Amino acid sequence: MSQGPDEKGHFEEFGGRFMPEALIAELDELTAVWTEAMAEPDFTAEFQRMLTEYANVPSRLYDATRLSAQAGARILLKREDLNHTGAHKIRNVLGQALLAKRMGKTRMIAETGAGQHGVATATAAAYLGLDCVVYMGEVDTERQALNVARMRLLGAEVVAVKSGSRTLKDAINEAIRDWVATVEHTAYCFGTAAGPHPFPAMVRDFCRGIGDEARAQCLELTGALPDIVTACVGGGSNAIGMFTAFLDDTDVRIYGFEAGGEGVETPRHAATIVAGEVGVLHGARTYVLQDEDGQTVESHSISAGLDYPGVGPQHAYLARSGRASYEAVTDAEAMDALALLARTEGIICAIESAHAVAGSLRLAKENPGTTILVNLSGRGDKDMGTTTDWFGLGEAGK
């Protein structure tokens, strides 16, 4: 199979559409409008214009020489942290917001975990003049108060979700409940390359510029393709955005790093592909953290953006087919890498992205002298509360 999916959204056994009938007509229409738009040069040019003029894309590829010297391999960082709003997420939301306008929608809803996708959606809504409601688990609104304030300043309504585990998966549930009742005028701006067809493929296509740009930038900088490409994987939008350009380059090895939390041997992790089992969650068949009865199990990660018990179905497929490898990185490994990157390169990345850096340092040890292309998907300002607590940076006398 090529990159897929088939017309019903299947990446072989993964993906598909397990959703209430009330939403199927809308998902069909969205699929049709998206497919039609992507084939129109005017639409793709407008999308690219917005990315360039508004979001500061293409992002730079940075040759991290001081980190490389410590790592033992040449590390190239795709600086998605320098995009407007501070992460790759702006690519996806600008694409979906443009589609929402095309479909005549006046309102966008979104779920958010760390708040990055919520901020990006609120930003795109403000930019394009759409009403915006963001669903966020109550637990996350407390640990990401800064992003709540940013969304409100941007004019979005933030709803604290009090059901279930009060985190990202419950925010998705609540957004779907809203959408069932408001679908006539509301677009659901889904935050990752997961969920029912067409979201996994559509979000991938809006994010694939990451890899397309990085591939060309790497060729220009080094005269060759990288030996290894890496990204962190929660739902998997930054990763699939990076990987897509390299899937047909069979000599390039591809690694996704999941949140190992306190260790995959403990119950406190979010390593869905590494330690989950096949099931259906939020509309797609994929790997899921679940119990014996198929109830979703709460995930854990120090990084709110990776704290999700499911994963995009194309990643499940790439893992099963062996084209990409997925490994877990613990909270502690990620935080060590975050500190090392800050001290060697003067870059404070998001804790999500630090998982990709940590995994890449591990690969560098195993593959000295290689070139490793890392998607640095977001910046770390939003995480400074967590980072301060982790390293004791706020303590007197330090």
List CB contacts of 214: < 8 A, sequence separation 6 or more: 61, 76, 78, 229, 242, 245, 373, 375
The crossing angle, in degrees rounded to 10, of helices 168-182 and 21-38 is: 90
The DSSP-derived string for 137-203 is EHHHHHHTHHHHHHHHHTT-EEEEE-STTSSHHHHHHHHHHHHHHHTTTEEE---SS-SSTTHHHHH
The answer to whether 307 contacts another protein (rule: CB under 8 A) is no
Q: Which of 230, 390, 239, 241 is nearest to 303 (CA)?
A: 390
Pick the binder of another protein from 35, 70, 106, 163 (CB under 8 A). Answer: 163
20 vs 129, beta carbon nearer another protein: 20
The residue range among 24-32, 33-41, 133-141, 255-263 that interacts with another protein, by the rule CB under 8 A, is: 24-32
**Smallest gap from residue 21 Cβ to another protein (A):** 5
Catalytic residue of the set 80, 111, 213, 258: 111
- Which tokens in the block code for residue 254? 């591809």
Distance CA 111, CA 167 (A): 10
What is the greatest pairwise CA distance in the chain?
A: 61
Residue 42 or 293 having the CB closest to another protein: 293
Helices and strands, counts by H and E, the chain = 16, 14
In angstroms, how far is CA 279 from the centroid of its own chain?
Answer: 20
CA R_g for the chain: 19
**Is residue 283 close enough to count as binding another protein by CB under 8 A?**
yes
32 belongs to the binding site for another protein (CB under 8 A): no
**Among 177, 176, 148, 178, which Cα is nearest to 160's?**
148
Of 144, 296, 377, 387, the one binding another protein (CB under 8 A) is 296
* Single residue of 2, 220, 250, 295 touching another protein by CB under 8 A: 295
Of 174-203, which residues contact another protein (CB under 8 A)? 176-177, 180-181, 183-184
| Cβ-based nearer residue to another protein, 294 or 385 | 294
- Looking at 83-91, 198-206, 260-268, 286-294, which segment touches another protein (CB under 8 A)? 286-294
- Interaction of residue 21 with another protein, rule CB under 8 A: yes
Number of residues forming the site for another protein (CB under 8 A): 36
Residue 111 a catalytic site member: yes
Question: Choosing from 59, 80, 89, 303, which is the catalytic residue?
Answer: 89
Q: Are 112 and 137 in contact (CB under 8 A)?
A: no
Asked if residue 263 binds another protein (CB under 8 A), the reply is no
- Following CA atoms 395, 116, 341, 261 in sequence, which dihedral angle do they give, to the nearest 10 degrees? 70
**Of the two residues 13 and 381, which places its CB atom closer to another protein in the complex?**
13
Does 288 bind another protein (CB under 8 A)? Our answer is yes
Check residue 111 for interaction with another protein (CB under 8 A): no
Work out whether 290 is an interface residue with another protein (CB under 8 A).
yes
Smallest gap from residue 312 Cβ to another protein (A): 17
Strands 371-376 and 74-79: parallel
Of these, 25, 216, 219, 384, which contacts another protein (CB under 8 A)?
25
Q: What is the DSSP letter of 266?
A: S
Q: Hunting for tokens 């869905």 — which residue is that?
A: 272
Among 155, 164, 263, 267, binds another protein (CB under 8 A): 164
Applying CB under 8 A, the residues found at the interface with another protein are 8, 16-26, 28, 163-164, 169-170, 173, 176-177, 180-181, 183-184, 279-283, 288, 290, 292-296
- What residues are labeled active site? 89, 111, 377
